[in-house]
Structure 1
Amino acid sequence: MPVEANSMIAILPEIVILTVACAVLVIDLYLPDERKDINHIVTIIGLATALGAISLIGSDKVTYAFDNSFIRDPLSDLLKGVILIVTLFTFVYSRDYMQQRQLWIGEYHVLILFAVLGMLIMVSANNFLTLYLGLELLALCLYALVAFDRDSKAGAEAAMKYFVLGALGSGMLLYGISMLYGASGGFFGFAQIADIAAAQGTDNQLLVFGLVFVLIGVAFKFGAVPFHMWLPDVYQGAPMPIVLFLSSAPKVAAFAMAVRILIEGLGGLQTDWGEILIILSVLSFVLGNVVAIAQTNIKRMLAYSTISHVGFIFLGLLAGTAAGYTAAMFYTVVYALMAAGAFGILVLLSTQGIEAEQLDDLKGLSERNGWLAAMMALIMFSMAGVPPAVGFMAKLLVLEAAVSVGLVWLAVLAVIFSIVGAFYYLRVIKLMYFDKPQLEQPLVIDGTATIAISINGLAILFLGLFPASLLQVCGVAFG
């Protein structure tokens, strides 16, 4: 089979997403306002087709395309699947919200689809140029999405902060890439840089400087402390469906970026970047859990919660073992599902004229919609690490990986601050079940959204009871 045909088959999911995005862009021009649902239907079909394409081309074998600039492997298959599933949840949850606010337009679908395309490219990047191309495509779409509600001053302010700080983070990353390019003698491929790192190590000072700047870029995209300053403000200012998308899918792409750069490209310097990740990890779960307690805005609370979860993901990566990488990947997938569910429920709570942004807005939810309250409670228990929800298993695996390499003190510190973090998760459950609702009328939500949140929530319970299937897939990725 010709190389070109192999290349086209390898990027089949990306071709599907690009085709659907362009189709929605054109179709929207000819749709009257009352027929905008067609955009939604075409988008859902496109995402489902892309998932099918991943299943079609997926295998245990590694495939390279476009002169080794693109890679398809078990890791990319799983992470792409998670990104597409979370994006499907985003569109299902946000339908009524966007319709009620006259934001249900083609640009919303197109921007998210192009952001998904950027993430898929990031996940399969096999050199720095491809990675940076996907990253910037994602970033440009997210900047526009954060400011999507043009009547919102908070959204415009958040988008401006995100743009300025995002440009700074991208600049740091690009500067680090340029140093690695020089240190490797003119190579952008992760394999060539890995060979240089293994042969020269810290003797190559330019390589070490490049590592530091690249790691700053990775930490910024994750929102790790001290590069987290954009995260709470962006979460608070952006429309709720955008926060739902921003909090879940891009974290999966950021994890892929960390794996491609740190493990596949700079594995020879694992001792050095592992020490930096220890600092970032400690700062993240300490500051994230402590500051989240003081928040009354639930979007900011979940933003600081995200920062603490990033600390746990780093805890798995810094272990430097296959078990640690598997645990970090498992944690990332689980976190994406939990974030999608938590913000999805907040989207469903935000009816016409009401934004469920404060903790008090969750008061008495069990009386207004018992099933929605049960799903939110399940997600909060999972985020807190309470069994049998999957969050417990995710934390346990990461802690086990840290202990196995002698970082007992770090595991103990993580457990202590997990207990601290349990306070603000349990506070949400207390508000839902033990406080009187501020609004008396029952909360009725769309049947499709009910099915989606049920699948989302019960998947968290199922994976907690039977984690072996997902854990095995994650393990294959790091074979």
Structure 2
Amino acid sequence: MIDRFSWMAIYPEIVLLAMTCVVTLVDLLDRGPRRLAAYWLSNLTLVVLVVLTAMYALSGQTVYGFGGMAVSDVMANWLKCFSSLAVLVIFIYSRTYVGQRGMLRGGEWYVLSLTSLLGVYIMCSANNFVLIYLGLECMALSAYALVALRRDHVVSVEAAMKYFVLSAMASGFLLYGLSMLYGATGTLDIGGVFKAVASGQVRHQVLVFGLVFVVAGMAFKFGAVPFHMWIPDVYEGAPTSVTLIIGSAPKLAAFAMAIRLLVEGLLPLAIDWQPMLAVLAVASLIIGNVAAIAQTNLKRMLAYSTISHMGFVLMGLLAGVVNGNAQLAANAYSSAMFYAVVYVLTNLVSFGIILLLARDGYESEQIADFAGLNQRSPFYAGLMAICLFSLAGIPPLVGFQAKLSVLQALISTQQPALIALAVFAVVMALVGAFYYIRVVKVMYFDPAVSAEPIQAPLDMRATLSVNGALLLILGLVPGALMSLCAQAIVQMLAT
């Protein structure tokens, strides 16, 4: 018998699923080219979900449902809240863009985006291997369709095929690893896995064998080297609005999956998975930053930038356990969560400006397209500069605080290897600053490619302004967001 607490654990998922069905029906009846009914209903749904998940998170309660398969805790609810907020912002930014490119003809844009968000929700609350995989596939299958939404655009269809094939392979890795863990521990419940591993009664070799495949599957979802091959092609080939969907909420879902599996389930094996994450982080920082220098396509450059940023998130995850002592776990994992949230917030601005400059039949994807942007609009050039400086980690912007929190977590371990890794990360951040500053140089010092004024809807201008202002405000006073992440992780570790 399912009690009321089971339903309490998944109320946000129920609301999202029900409203996705309603949006589907409304969209069938709305034959207007702009699909305004679906747009406003989707936005209303997301606003309700932001409020609902924030209320759940602020309550501080942890509720398990359906025999422990689902968990509603502070971390899950804040990640759901930020994911919903990100998708809401994306809908506002991309309203004109998707209409001009015929992506609203069949009405799939809003439905598939909400379905992908549902997958993110499931992954954030999953406390069972089956539920993790269910959420992963719900999110991924929607993303494949979104990438190919422009069915008459060859590059988008090609990107969707690459994404589908590589992602299917990575999902197979993850599923095989989870099956090995189930075979070794005899349970699909993450808490049960933790107890079985901590007991020492299971074969270590089998656990490590499964762990390798699990880490490989997670690395693909993060976009970490050497499982990064899909990111540049998909980011460049997908419609810009879809690129922003893929580069925002799914990153928070990947972080949640890593915490659920590696920390809540396999923390006693930290001595085995932390070196794997270290290799992934170092490789991601090198390849991501060096390859980005050679790019002339801004979306492709930001794709390699994403790879390097995921290296920082992984560094936060590998600093939690030192010599078998998890005393620093809360500090390390909260820094990784803070970095992931800040990355999504910053990414919204960068792709928002790209969407703003795009016109019917014209994509503002090349770095050269931003030449002389300051002459056309000092305001939007300033917003883009703030975003790029934040990505580079230049104070006083929030990107600096994010990098600083991860470096502090590494240095506080007082382990020579991790301190050396922190120094290496600083060097790679300096390398990465070059390609961000290059775009700023193009915007401010190169002659303008067009004298056409930049026009944007009021809701987009207002949202971009708030989004850009947050990069500066949170950089000056990051305490509230840091405290929120710390409380979420502490509560997660306590339960």
Superposed CA deviations along residues 81-104 of structure 1, whole A, max 9, x for unmatched, are 110010011100000011112222
2:394–2:400 Cα contact (<8 Å) kept:
yes
- Among 388, 395, 399, the alignment partner of 1:387 is 395
Out of 16-25 and 385-394, give the one that drifted further. Answer: 16-25
Question: Which residue of the partner structure matches residue 436 of structure 2?
Answer: 425
Superposition deviation, residue 202 in structure 1: 8.6
TM-score (norm 1): 0.98
Distance 2:283 2:289 in 1: 10
Distance 2:471 2:456 in 1: 21
Structure 2 SS opposite 1:64: strand
Question: Which residue of the partner structure matches residue 179 of structure 1?
Answer: 180
Does 2:224 correspond to 1:224?
A: yes
Question: Which residue of the partner structure matches residue 147 of structure 2?
Answer: 146
Q: Tell me which amino acid in the other structure corresponds to 2:177.
A: G
1:94–1:241 Cα contact (<8 Å) kept:
yes
Distance 2:70 2:19 in 1: 21
Question: Which residue of the partner structure matches residue 126 of structure 1?
Answer: 127
Q: Tell me which amino acid in the other structure corresponds to 1:362.
A: F
Out of 413-422 and 47-56, give the one that drifted further. Answer: 47-56
Gaps of 5+ in 2: 321-328, 491-495
Question: Which residue of the partner structure matches residue 205 of structure 1?
Answer: 205
Distance 2:250 2:483 in 1: 23
Distance 1:28 1:5 in 2: 33
Equivalences for residues 284-295 of structure 1 within 5 A: 284-295=284-295
1:202–1:208 Cα contact (<8 Å) kept:
no
Superposition deviation, residue 3 in structure 1: 5.0
- Among 398, 403, 406, the alignment partner of 1:398 is 406
Q: Tell me which amino acid in the other structure corresponds to 1:398.
A: V
Distance 1:104 1:4 in 2: 41
Question: Which residue of the partner structure matches residue 91 of structure 2?
Answer: 91
Question: Which residue of the partner structure matches residue 166 of structure 2?
Answer: 165
Distance 2:369 2:34 in 1: 33
Does 2:450 correspond to 1:450?
A: no
Question: Which residue of the partner structure matches residue 493 of structure 2?
Answer: none
- Among 466, 482, 486, the alignment partner of 1:471 is 482
Superposition deviation, residue 422 in structure 1: 0.0
Question: Which residue of the partner structure matches residue 367 of structure 1?
Answer: 375
TM-score (norm 2): 0.95
Distance 1:206 1:74 in 2: 33
Superposed CA deviations along residues 332-390 of structure 1, whole A, max 9, x for unmatched, are 00001111111111011111121011000011111112211111111101000000100
Distance 1:463 1:411 in 2: 23
Superposition deviation, residue 32 in structure 1: 1.8
1:126–1:260 Cα contact (<8 Å) kept:
yes
1:201–1:269 Cα contact (<8 Å) kept:
no
Q: Tell me which amino acid in the other structure corresponds to 2:224.
A: A
RMSD: 1.2
Structure 2 SS opposite 1:347: helix
Superposition deviation, residue 145 in structure 1: 0.4
Distance 2:34 2:471 in 1: 35
Question: Which residue of the partner structure matches residue 20 of structure 2?
Answer: 21
Question: Which residue of the partner structure matches residue 263 of structure 2?
Answer: 263
Distance 2:397 2:145 in 1: 35
Superposed CA deviations along residues 119-167 of structure 1, whole A, max 9, x for unmatched, are 0000000011111000000010000001110111011111001000000
Question: Which residue of the partner structure matches residue 189 of structure 1?
Answer: 189
Structure 2 SS opposite 1:33: coil
1:86–1:340 Cα contact (<8 Å) kept:
yes
1:367–1:442 Cα contact (<8 Å) kept:
no
Out of 13-22 and 228-237, give the one that drifted further. Answer: 13-22
Superposed CA deviations along residues 286-306 of structure 1, whole A, max 9, x for unmatched, are 110000000000111000000
Distance 2:43 2:368 in 1: 34
Q: Tell me which amino acid in the other structure corresponds to 2:134.
A: L
Does 2:386 correspond to 1:354?
A: no
Gaps of 5+ in 1: none
Superposed CA deviations along residues 178-219 of structure 1, whole A, max 9, x for unmatched, are 0000000x2011111111222228952111111110000000
Q: 1:35 to 1:319 in 2, by over 3 A?
A: closer
Distance 2:35 2:113 in 1: 16
Question: Which residue of the partner structure matches residue 138 of structure 2?
Answer: 137
Q: 1:217 to 1:201 in 2, by over 3 A?
A: farther
Does 2:249 correspond to 1:249?
A: yes
1:388–1:464 Cα contact (<8 Å) kept:
yes
2:8–2:63 Cα contact (<8 Å) kept:
no
Question: Which residue of the partner structure matches residue 435 of structure 1?
Answer: 446
Q: 1:56 to 1:322 in 2, by over 3 A?
A: closer
2:75–2:485 Cα contact (<8 Å) kept:
yes
Aligned length: 477
Superposed CA deviations along residues 418-452 of structure 1, whole A, max 9, x for unmatched, are 00000000111111111111011111111110011
Question: Which residue of the partner structure matches residue 33 of structure 1?
Answer: 32
Superposition deviation, residue 33 in structure 1: 2.2
Distance 1:35 1:454 in 2: 24
Superposition deviation, residue 5 in structure 1: 1.9
Question: Which residue of the partner structure matches residue 234 of structure 2?
Answer: 234
Superposition deviation, residue 412 in structure 1: 0.6
1:69–1:130 Cα contact (<8 Å) kept:
yes
Superposition deviation, residue 57 in structure 1: 3.0
Superposition deviation, residue 34 in structure 1: 4.2
Equivalences for residues 264-303 of structure 1 within 5 A: 264-303=264-303
1:14–1:50 Cα contact (<8 Å) kept:
no
Question: Which residue of the partner structure matches residue 420 of structure 2?
Answer: 409
Structure 1 SS opposite 2:310: helix
Structure 2 SS opposite 1:478: helix
2:128–2:189 Cα contact (<8 Å) kept:
yes
Superposition deviation, residue 61 in structure 1: 2.0
